[in-house]
Structure 1
Amino acid sequence: MALSSTSAAMLLADARLPSGGHAHSAGVEPALMSGLEAAELPALLRGRAATVTLVEAGTAVATRHVRLVDGDLDAVEMAWAARTPSAALRDAARHLARGYLRVGTELLPGDSAIHTWRGRTPPPPRACVLGVIAAGLDMPALDLARLVVYEDIQAAAAAVLKLEPRDPLDLVSLVVEVCSEIEDELPLIAQITDPTDIPSLSAPQSEQWAQAHAQSTRRLFRA
């Protein structure tokens, strides 16, 4: 299948992709259910972009490199898990991975890692799957880092429209602002080759909200 890396990035960032992303709010619903004011959502997204999202981007980039050199993918997954202390967030990332593994099977039908992961319980996190897909499609590391950031922030913005309806263009502007503000961090993220260099950044309040949210029976989103 001849698919350019640019087209691949657009495909994987498309909210219409059947990956299950529509069931995740990137932390927005847990925050609102725990009392965050709607006016504070821009700060939440900026905080997420500078912490959780960079961990995800670094994990994807590290996975891409390790896959290209036929290294130990389990080491990347372990590094990611050590930087994701919330069991609820780890579970959500693995749930998202199932959809991306299905997509990866279509894009890279002969990839052995994707084939193995599809039969594994639990699957690896979304970031690892994206890294393997990026390696298989020759996607540059910087493009992959941008993809992870954009997809995460866009998922949060889409959730806001369901939870706190407003002019969609306001959310478009916010996504642009957040992605632009984090752009200077991405060239360094794109240079990661060793899993130990994945950023160790956390958002304890968001992790606590995610844990509480996982126990709720009145929610629209998984996380």
Structure 2
Amino acid sequence: MSALAMLLADARLPSGGHAYSAGMEPALAGGMPPVEARALMLARARTTSLVEAGTAVVARNAVLAQAPLMPVQSAWAARTPAPAVRTASSAQARGYLRLADRLWPAATVFANLPERPCRAVVLGAIAAVADLPAADLVRLTIYDDAATAASALLKLEPGDPVEVTAWILDACADVEPRVAALAALTDPADIPAAGAPHSELWASAHARLTKRLFRA
């Protein structure tokens, strides 16, 4: 992966990702036993992470082709029905946009994004501006989701960081055979549509809690 991809995947990057648990806190708050955290990470890698990765790739290609991004945003929204998840994604997107404005102040694409863009669309736009290869973008998106969930787990249910890091690698390796196909996507209609209804229900309930560490 390129240096930029590794930078964007670094949890220390001040883009707001540290305030997001990739569904881990909602799952634990909803009653999921901590012992099932690895299974949750694998399930998300096979479902919501693929939606995010596919959206980012199609957004990247739309920017490069000077095509409108609203169809990409709409395709993502159709695959992400829970308002709580959409709101959390929009908050993450604002963090990435602050970074993009600092690194690429002359880029006009960031001023022409859809209203309240999702994280994946903004990542795709960044990838286009920064010449980040599509395959790197896919791996970045999948890794970031798994690493975010793992980081949140260690805060909520402290355990062995080495073991939890292995779960990140497991999640990435599990979907590695899908990387090439995802990197070739150009049509919003072809973005994966694998959903995670239980995770979305947990996120919706979590959004109403008054005591929580993460947005979602």
Settle same-fold status: TM greater than 0.5. yes
Q: Which residue identity does 2:168 align to in structure 1? A: V
Cα deviation for residue 116 of structure 1 reads 3.8
Equivalent residue number for residue 140 of structure 2 = 147
Equivalent residue number for residue 57 of structure 2 = 61
**Matches of residues 98-109 of structure 1 in structure 2 within 5 Å?**
98-109=94-105
Report the TM-score, using the length of structure 1 for normalisation: 0.94
Equivalent residue number for residue 165 of structure 1 = 158
2:197 corresponds to which of 178, 189, 204? 204
The runs of 5 or more residues in structure 1 that have no matched partner are: none
Cα deviation for residue 222 of structure 1 reads 0.6
Report runs of 4+ in structure 1 exceeding 3 Å deviation: none
Cα deviation for residue 218 of structure 1 reads 1.3
1:74 corresponds to which of 67, 70, 74? 70
SS in 2 for 1:79: helix
Q: Which residue identity does 2:124 align to in structure 1? A: G
Q: Which residue identity does 2:27 align to in structure 1? A: A
Equivalent residue number for residue 22 of structure 2 = 26
1:97 corresponds to which of 87, 90, 93? 93
Contact 1:192 1:198 in 2 (8 A): yes
Q: How many residues align?
A: 216
Contact 2:139 2:179 in 1 (8 A): yes
Equivalent residue number for residue 122 of structure 2 = 129
Contact 1:105 1:115 in 2 (8 A): no
Matched residues, percent identical? Answer: 51
Contact 1:108 1:133 in 2 (8 A): no
- Are 1:194 and 2:190 an aligned pair? no
Residues 124-181 of structure 1, C-alpha deviations (whole Å, 9 max, x = no match): 0010000000001111100000000011110000000000101111111111111111
The runs of 5 or more residues in structure 2 that have no matched partner are: none
2:13 corresponds to which of 11, 17, 27? 17
Cα deviation for residue 201 of structure 1 reads 1.1
Contact 1:29 1:163 in 2 (8 A): yes
Residues 34-67 of structure 1, C-alpha deviations (whole Å, 9 max, x = no match): 1000111111111101000000000000000000
Equivalent residue number for residue 85 of structure 1 = 81
Alignment root-mean-square deviation, CA = 1.1
